[in-house]
Amino acid sequence: MIQIQRVALPHGIELDCRVAGDTGRPVMLFLHGFPEAAFVWDALLLHFSQAANGGYLCVAPDMRGYAGSSSPTDVKAYRAKELVKDVIALQRHFSPSQPLACLVAHDWGGAVAWNAANQHPSMMQRLAIINSPHPGTFLRDLKADANQQSASDYMNFLIRDDAQALLAEDDYRRLWAFFTNMGADSGPHAWLTEDIKHTYRAVWQQGLDGALNYYRASPLRPPRAGDPAASAIELPEEMLRILVPTLVLWGMQDMALPPGLIEGLSAYVPDLQLHRVHDGTHWLVHEQPEWVAQTIGNWLR
């Protein structure tokens, strides 16, 4: 059973968390991406909370800016250091006496998780990333790879002041396109049922500006006239090393985050297990939840 807990963090942010499993068990924390919410992890929360699959206490927050969680209006509140504070506070709240058994993350949640693992490796025993680029390879390709610059050009749309209004037009037509256009084909995906659409609408109707502020707060986007963006950024080596054991699952048909982003990853992550999913897209958690759960479970064991 999944319960909803509203957690007040010590720095003033409140997050709605979906929780499954018994208190006192090792904790798995799941971070979602854009334009999603914590509900996307439900199948994995139920799976890993079962005794046969580890009996973990599984926690998935609606990240700040999403759904009913706190949504600060100041764009600076969505910088990486602020988002990492939320992860640290959640770990201390749900697992005060031991590190997380695993931090699992996708898309923007992965961006936060990479930073948390770099800055606070002792807060987690393992890290599992699903189609979320490491900042080192992402910055490299945003600077020098025309294919990645083109694939990420949507970011420059999402930082517009009118992006929220435009995304809401025609029953969120542009947001549905994120699901259908981020794969190898442009057709409908079988997992995107009317029930799932209803759940997404309920999230989006609570506001999109907080989610869009993640893009506005980050310089990791393609450069354009008048905005150097990624081309003006240099990240020192110490900000890129990941010292915790890391699993990366990568849908190779991801059109926004092409496979080039996993090339050279082992230079930053020495303890790395990488699985390429040749028929998977950006939405691997939706498309192959059983395989994702099995692969993470095998790795944890």
Task: Please write down the long-range contacts of 170-173, taking CB distance under 8 Å and 24 or more positions apart.
Answer: 171/201, 172/200, 172/201, 172/204
Looking at residue 186, its pLDDT comes to 45
Please, are residues 148 and 142 in contact by the beta-carbon 8 Å criterion? Answer: yes
For residues 115 and 233, give the distance between their C-alpha atoms in angstroms, rounded to a whole number: 16
Domains in the chain: how many in total? Answer: 1
Looking at residue 183, its pLDDT comes to 55
For residues 81 and 1, give the distance between their C-alpha atoms in angstroms, rounded to a whole number: 33
Which tokens hold the place of 120? Answer: 């606070």
Q: Tens of pLDDT along the chain (301 residues)?
A: 999 999 999 999 999 999 999 999 999 999 999 999 999 999 999 999 999 999 999 999 999 999 999 999 999 999 999 999 999 999 999 999 999 999 999 999 999 999 999 999 999 999 999 999 999 999 999 999 999 999 999 999 999 999 999 999 999 999 999 998 765 554 557 899 999 999 999 999 999 999 999 999 999 999 999 899 999 999 999 999 999 999 999 999 999 999 999 999 999 999 999 999 999 999 999 999 999 999 999 999 9
How far does the chain reach from its first CA to its final CA, in angstroms? 24
For residues 40 and 233, give the distance between their C-alpha atoms in angstroms, rounded to a whole number: 32
For residues 282 and 124, give the distance between their C-alpha atoms in angstroms, rounded to a whole number: 25
204-234 burial, b at 16+ Cβ within 10 Å, e below that, comes to beebbebbbbbbbbbebbbbeeeeebbeeee
Nearest-CA neighbor of 7 among 98, 69, 65? 69
For residues 156 and 227, give the distance between their C-alpha atoms in angstroms, rounded to a whole number: 10
Which tokens hold the place of 114? Answer: 């990479």
Domain encompassing residue 98: 3-300
Looking at residue 290, its pLDDT comes to 97
**Residue 287 DSSP class:** H
Sheet of 272-277, strand order:
3-8, 14-20, 57-61, 27-31, 102-106, 127-130, 246-251, 272-277
Which residues does 190 contact at the CB level (< 8 Å), separation at least 6? Answer: none
Nearest-CA neighbor of 56 among 64, 65, 47? 47
Which tokens hold the place of 286? Answer: 């939706």
CATH number at residue 152: 3.40.50.1820
Q: Alpha helix (H) ranges present in the chain?
A: 42-49, 80-94, 107-119, 135-144, 146-151, 154-158, 163-181, 194-204, 209-217, 284-287, 289-300
Looking at residue 142, its pLDDT comes to 97
Cβ count within 10 A of residue 18: 21
